Chain A
């Protein structure tokens, strides 16, 4: 091991090593145990000077941590979920379906289904469905009550969509149905 490399190591500990020198040094550290020992010793010197006394880590400590990480690379052992969660930002704990992209996708899908079901200018669905479904298809025609339900549905689910999605869907509905315009207007006027 040359002095130059150890000097780089010393500078690395101090945060004074230029980035372009770091890569090569890191690769050397990966395969040179004595270099790693020296790094640990330099750190111990600083710690002793700054805060003398107290318990210090044993010589094998860092190696044991490294081995423990290698033994459980998938993160399935040692720490309970609660313990790990305590040290994680909230974003990591958000359920899959609550994540913004998923929420947007869900809201867009729901809105698309709603538009297809309640589309005012659609051909009567009953023409192509069995008689047993005819009653349902008839009730799906655009009436003020349906428009109101649809508007309520959109409002209720708006928390799961982005403003742009909400605006696009609502705009198309408003353009197609004056009943919804009235409902939305009334909701906008509500205290």
Chain B
């Protein structure tokens, strides 16, 4: 496995977790599921890679934004990282978890961006025309987004409120899964119910939260 000097500390979501968690910051079962999606993507099932993007887009954008300290570039750099991952997918052998591999690509891509940013001449604005300067200013104002922060906070509040309103069995199931990282089998043992019931409860909890989120995201 490739080593990386000065590897930045993982974000909060990647700290070690409680039982059932065999991948940093990810719930149980995720690694095997990701590997299956990777295998399918390696067989040119593009939909499988799209699912991996959907699954990890927020995690990667959040990571890159934190490294760059510039929300304006975060999505572009995250996009570049996903494209690189797609192109290098043939070399992924499953020695590490998919997200660990993707995390490294994202960190490398962010570092390259920072390095190229440092190589840019500092007085480049002096060479811009007035209209170009206006565009730059407008872009900076537009992309330095308090809106993104507000949206993120709204999503957090909505999710928390939706969870509070769930029936207790659904709330327990989704919390044990998403926050505690337990597998369905572990949750079934903890809640003394069949695995199929756990699967159904987690799904219904997600549906309820999704309905609450939809107006925010549409």
Contacts and interface: CB of A to CB of B under 8 A. Distances in A.
A191 to B, nearest CB: 36
A87 B178 contact: no
B33 A12 contact: yes
Given A54-B65, A55-B148, A49 B29 contact: no
A16 B62 CA distance: 26
Contacts of A19: 36
A132 B108 CA distance: 62
B29 A50 contact: no
B202 A10 contact: yes
A51 B25 CA distance: 9
B59 to A, nearest CB: 6
A36 B88 contact: no
Nearest to A66: B50
Nearest to A50: B13
A131 interface: no
A15 B34 contact: yes
A39 B51 contact: yes
Interface in A1-34: 3, 6-7, 10-17, 19, 22, 26-27, 29-30
A15 B29 contact: yes
A67 to B, nearest CB: 10
Contacts of A64: 75, 79
B217 A41 contact: yes
A53 interface: yes
B68 to A, nearest CB: 10
Interface string B139-180: 000000100110111011001000100000000001101110
B178 A57 contact: no
A87 B85 contact: yes
Contacts of B206: 10, 41-42, 45
5 contacts: A47-B62, A56-B151, A84-B87, A84-B88, A91-B91
Interface of A: 3, 6-7, 10-17, 19, 22, 26-27, 29-30, 36, 38-59, 61-62, 64-66, 68-69, 72, 75, 78-79, 83-84, 86-89, 91-92
Interface of B: 2, 11-13, 25, 27-34, 36, 40, 45-51, 53-62, 65-66, 71, 74-75, 78-80, 82-88, 91, 93, 101, 104-105, 108-109, 112, 145, 148-149, 151-153, 155-156, 159, 163, 174-175, 177-179, 183-184, 199-200, 202-203, 206-207, 209-210, 213-214, 217
